[in-house]
Amino acid sequence: MEITLKKGKEKKIKNFYLWIFRDEIENFEKLKKEPVQIVNVKSSDNEFLGKAFFNPKSHIAARILTRDNEKIDTNFFKRRIKEAIEKRKKLKIKSNALRLIHAEADEIPGLIVDKFDNYLVLQIRTAGIESFKHEITTVLTDLLKISGIYERSDMESRKEEGLETLSGELYGHVPRYVEIEENGLKFLVDLHYGQKTGFYLDQRDNRKKIKEMVNKGDKVLDLFCYSGAFSIYCASAGASVIGVDSDRSATDLARENAKINKLSDRITFLTGDAFETVESLANSGEKFDLIIIDPPAMTKTKRGAEGVKWAFHKLILNSLKMLEPGGKLMVSSCAYHVSLNMLKEAIRFASNDIGKKLRVIDVTFQPEDHPWILQMPETLYLKTIYLEVLK
């Protein structure tokens, strides 16, 4: 079967963009009742553009797999997976936990694979990849000496693909908690029920950077602390830390992580709403040397981005009330639809409202094992801004 693009829509595919939307397909009405399958993609002039997974149920109706006229089978996925793994071997990551496969950025649209010590967590986001789950699992076990694979395909976005949410063992036995090491620190990761695939691997570089900004004796506030990684990095540099998260299971795990790093005496973890907590602390006159704002995505849609911007504004405004000149602020967003400019705008509005001058120290993005493609803006999602209060 083949899909034909409307006139002019072939340009972005030729420029390495991988997604084709329903309204870009000339013959979609004829195909909308077809099952998920691999199709040839052609231009309005009948030029072959590549092969793609086609899913008429999804708003993103087709995802390019290859620009070549090649067979999509086990060997295809074995080659792509091997290439992704080989790229990671060249990275100088001081951890036994990293992302091995990053979906579109590794030319395997819809597949996420994270490695935690000797275990893999696999996440399937599309119906096309779901149809090759057995083959992909076999390839991973053939290429890597691992003890088990756990599936965490439990994201709501699968419903648009016509898929149920799933989680459970795919290979071997995978314990709920696995201990990893990162830059000399240890963390227990909840592979079965933790957020994302269990741990925010994409914040690894930012955790290292924030530790370098901390001075012994600093007071740090870590908002949306999850299982305590940023808090523990800061405490290991000699800071006293308050970590806040609304998820009790997360703060319980954070306390365990502080304990195994022998830092419990330097960190207090609070279970509560970060918005309410930061406002309460600000109103009580608390002061900090560093405040970390790293919330979950808060929105998965473009429509929700403006509301998220103002949520950041509220968090930043209350945080700035507690930072004196020389104090530092880290603001991070993992929501693709919240652009870097929107994040900067939220910070600027908040600083103007409170009358504080801020210097941008740095702007960072996701680490190398979470690559992004210039022609595929959706592959860039993590943005972090570091600031210093001047006056």
Catalytically annotated residues: 334
Q: Which residues contact 3 (CB under 8 A, 6 or more apart)?
A: 20, 25, 26, 27, 28, 31, 39, 40, 41, 42, 52, 54, 61, 62
Q: Is 294 annotated as a binding residue?
A: yes
Strands (DSSP E) found in the chain: 2-4, 19-21, 37-42, 48-54, 60-66, 97-102, 111-116, 119-124, 148-153, 166-172, 177-182, 185-190, 219-223, 240-245, 267-271, 288-293, 323-333, 358-365, 383-389
Distance of CA 155 to the CA centre of its chain: 13
Centre a 10 Å sphere on the Cβ of residue 13 and count the other Cβ atoms it contains: 21
**In whole angstroms, what is the distance from residue 250 CA to residue 252 CA?**
5
With 0-12 / 13-18 / 19 or more C-beta atoms within 10 angstroms meaning exposed / middle / buried, residue 248 is exposed
Phi, psi (degrees; rounded to nearest 5) at 129: -65, -35
Annotated binding-site residue? 224 = yes
Largest pairwise CA distance in the chain: 69
Instruction: Kindly state the tokens that stand for 193.
Output: 């029920």
Give backbone dihedrals phi and psi of 28, rounded to 5 degrees, phi first.
-60, -40
Bind-site residues:
224, 245, 294
